[in-house]
C-alpha cells in the first residue's frame, strides 16, 4: 500500500484511519499539528492587526468614523464617542448626526453625500450642538473589498479654539486701530473743549443777574462737561499702560476697594451682593487703578442690567493647572442676545438710552485686561443673566 502523503493543501487523507499503519498515523498527527500551529499564527496575526487598527483609530484624538450612505456609523473611534458625550458601545449602528452632533437631521453642509457621489474628498464646517463646538469635517471615499463606494471615512477637526483666537486677533487689531484714531481725535478736542468750559464758567459769573442767559449757559456747561468726560474716556481707551506702572495686585482686596463706588446704585436698585472669594488668592501683575476701572465697569453694567433688583455674585478662583486667577461678575439681569455678544466689546456699542451710556465701558475694560496679559469672556442667557469672567496669569 502506498504511504499517504500530506501537504498543507491536503484536506484529508482519502484512506480510512483504521487502515493506516503506525508510521502513517504519526505522519498524519505531525501534519495536523503543523496545520494547527499555522492557523494559530494566522489568528494571532489577524488579532494583532485588528488590535493595531483599533488602537491607531482610538489614538487619534479627533473624531473619526466610517459612515454609510444612510448616515449610519459603521465604525467609530473613542474621540467620536467623547465628542458626542456617548459611550463607544452605543455609537455604532446609530445615525452619525445624532451621536456626534446631537441632531435629528443631517448637519447642514455635511460633506458625506458629496464624497459618495463624486468619489473624492469633500470638506465643510459643522457645529456640534451638544457642546457648541465648531468642527471642520473631512469626508474621504471608502471603497469596500469589491471596490464599491457605499461609505466614507469622516474625520473631524475641532476648530473652536482656532476660531476664537482668530476672532480675538481681529478684535485686537480693530481695537488698536480705533484706539489710535480715538486717541488722536480726543487729544485734539480736549484743549478747545477746555476753553469752552472755562469761558462758559467765566460768563456764568458775569451774568449773575440775567436768569435767562444763565440758564442757557448752565446747559452749555453741562453739555461741555459731558463731552469732557467722554473725551477723557477716549484718552483712557487709547492709553497703553507702561510696564513700570505695574505692581502686584491682590484681586480680593481690589474688589473690596471698588465696591463702595457702586454702593449707591446697589442700594437704590435693591440688589443682593454675594461674595464667593477664594482665600489666599495669588496676586497678579497689573496696573491697580486700571484694573479697578475694569471691575467698576463690569459691576456698573451688572447693576444696570437689573433695574428691578436681582442678585450680583462676585467670585474669585485660582486654577493651578494653568496658574490663572479667575474673577467673575455674575448678575441675574436680562442677558445679552448671542448675536450681540461679540459686539459688546466694540467702542461705542451701547443699548442704553442716549446720554445714559457711551458704550466705552467694555471696550476700555477689554483693552486693560489685554494689556495686563489677561482675557475677558462673557456667558449669557436671555432672562437668566450674564457672567463676565476675567482671567489673569498669576504673577511670577
Ligand X SMILES: Nc1ncnc2c1ncn2[C@@H]1O[C@H](COP(=O)(O)OP(=O)(O)OP(=O)(O)O)[C@@H](O)[C@H]1O
In the complex, the residues that contact Mg ion under the rule CB under 5 A are: 301, 361
Q: Which does 151 bind (CB under 5 to 8 A by kind): ligand X, Mg ion, none?
A: none
Using CB under 6 A, which residues numbered 356 to 375 contact ligand X? 357-363
Strands of 1-147 (E only): list them.
Answer: 64-68, 73-76, 122-128, 133-143
Return d(Cα 374, Cα 151) in angstroms, integer. 46
Among ligand X, Mg ion, none, residue 292 binds (CB under 5-8 Å by kind): none
Of the two residues 85 and 337, which places its CB atom closer to ligand X in the complex?
337
**DSSP-based three-state secondary structure for 44:** helix
Kindly tell me which of 320 and 355 has the beta carbon lying closer to ligand X.
355
Comparison of 24 and 331: residue with beta carbon closer to ligand X = 331
98 touches ligand X (CB under 6 A): no
Angle ∠(357,359,364) on CA atoms, nearest 5:
120
331, 390, 391, 392: residue in contact with ligand X (rule CB under 6 A): 331
Q: Which does 350 bind (CB under 5 to 8 A by kind): ligand X, Mg ion, none?
A: ligand X
End-to-end, the C-alpha distance of the chain in Å comes to 94
80 or 328: CB nearest Mg ion: 328
How far apart CA 289 and CA 292 sit, in angstroms, is 5
* Cell digits of residue 66: 466610517
CB of 131 to ligand X, least distance (A): 24
Q: Are strands 310-319 and 375-381 parallel, antiparallel or unpaired?
A: unpaired
Q: Give least dist CB 365 to ligand X, A.
A: 7
- List, as one string, the DSSP characters of 242-254: -GGG-EEE-HHHH
Per-residue interface string for the shown chain with ligand X, residues 163-192, x marking contact by CB under 6 A? ------------------------------
Q: Round to whole Å and give the CA distance between 389 and 391.
A: 7
Three-state SS at 380: strand
Give the integer Cα–Cα distance in Å for 11 and 14: 9
115 or 301: whose CB is closer to Mg ion?
A: 301
CB-nearer residue toward ligand X: 153 or 235: 235
Closest CA to 323 of 396, 379, 250, 258: 396
Query: Which of positions 270-329 make contact with ligand X (CB under 6 A)?
Result: 297, 301-302, 305
Choices 36-44, 66-74, 178-186, 351-359; region in contact with ligand X by CB under 6 A: 351-359
For residue 182, give the C-alpha cell.
480715538
Q: By CB under 6 A, name the binding residues for ligand X.
A: 297, 301-302, 305, 331, 333-334, 336, 344, 349-352, 357-363, 386
Amino acid at each position: 500500500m502506498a504511504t499517504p502523503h500530506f501537504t498543507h493543501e491536503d484536506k484529508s487523507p482519502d484512506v480510512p484511519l483504521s487502515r493506516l499503519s503506525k508510521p502513517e498515523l504519526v505522519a498524519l498527527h505531525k501534519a495536523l499539528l503543523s496545520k494547527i500551529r499555522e492557523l494559530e499564527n494566522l489568528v494571532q496575526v489577524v488579532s494583532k492587526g485588528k488590535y493595531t487598527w483599533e488602537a491607531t483609530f482610538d489614538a487619534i484624538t479627533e473624531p473619526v468614523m466610517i459612515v454609510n450612505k444612510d448616515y449610519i456609523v459603521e465604525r467609530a473611534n473613542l474621540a467620536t464617542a467623547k465628542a458626542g458625550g456617548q459611550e463607544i458601545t452605543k455609537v455604532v449602528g446609530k445615525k452619525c448626526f445624532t451621536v456626534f452632533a446631537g441632531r435629528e437631521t443631517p448637519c447642514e453642509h455635511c460633506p458625506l453625500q458629496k464624497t459618495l457621489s463624486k468619489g473624492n474628498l469633500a470638506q465643510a464646517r459643522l457645529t456640534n450642538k451638544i457642546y457648541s463646538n465648531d468642527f471642520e469635517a473631512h469626508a474621504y471615499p471608502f471603497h469596500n473589498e469589491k471596490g464599491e463606494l457605499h461609505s466614507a471615512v469622516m474625520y473631524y477637526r475641532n476648530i473652536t479654539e482656532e476660531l476664537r483666537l482668530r476672532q480675538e486677533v481681529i478684535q485686537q487689531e480693530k481695537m488698536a486701530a480705533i484706539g489710535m484714531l480715538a486717541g488722536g481725535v480726543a487729544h485734539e478736542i480736549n484743549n478747545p473743549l477746555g476753553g469752552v468750559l472755562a469761558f462758559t464758567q467765566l460768563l456764568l459769573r458775569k451774568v449773575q443777574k440775567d436768569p435767562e442767559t444763565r440758564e442757557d449757559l448752565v446747559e452749555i456747561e453741562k453739555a461741555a462737561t459731558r463731552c469732557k468726560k467722554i473725551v477723557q474716556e477716549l484718552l483712557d481707551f487709547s492709553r497703553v499702560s507702561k510696564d513700570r506702572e505695574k505692581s502686584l495686585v491682590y484681586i480680593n482686596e481690589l474688589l473690596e476697594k471698588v465696591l463702595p463706588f457702586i454702593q449707591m446704585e446697589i442700594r437704590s436698585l435693591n440688589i443682593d451682593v454675594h461674595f464667593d472669594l477664594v482665600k489666599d488668592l495669588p496676586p497678579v501683575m497689573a496696573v491697580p487703578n486700571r484694573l479697578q476701572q475694569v471691575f467698576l465697569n463690569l459691576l456698573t453694567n451688572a447693576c444696570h442690567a437689573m433695574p428691578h433688583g436681582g442678585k450680583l455674585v462676585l467670585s474669585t478662583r485660582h486654577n493651578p493647572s494653568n496658574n490663572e486667577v479667575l474673577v467673575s461678575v455674575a448678575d441675574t439681569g436680562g442677558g445679552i442676545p448671542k448675536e450681540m455678544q461679540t459686539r459688546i466689546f466694540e467702542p461705542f456699542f451701547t443699548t442704553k438710552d442716549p446720554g445714559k451710556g457711551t458704550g466705552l465701558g467694555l471696550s476700555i475694560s477689554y483693552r486693560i485686561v489685554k494689556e495686563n496679559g489677561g482675557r475677558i469672556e462673557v456667558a449669557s442667557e436671555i432672562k437668566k443673566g450674564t457672567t463676565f469672567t476675567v482671567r489673569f496669569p498669576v504673577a511670577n
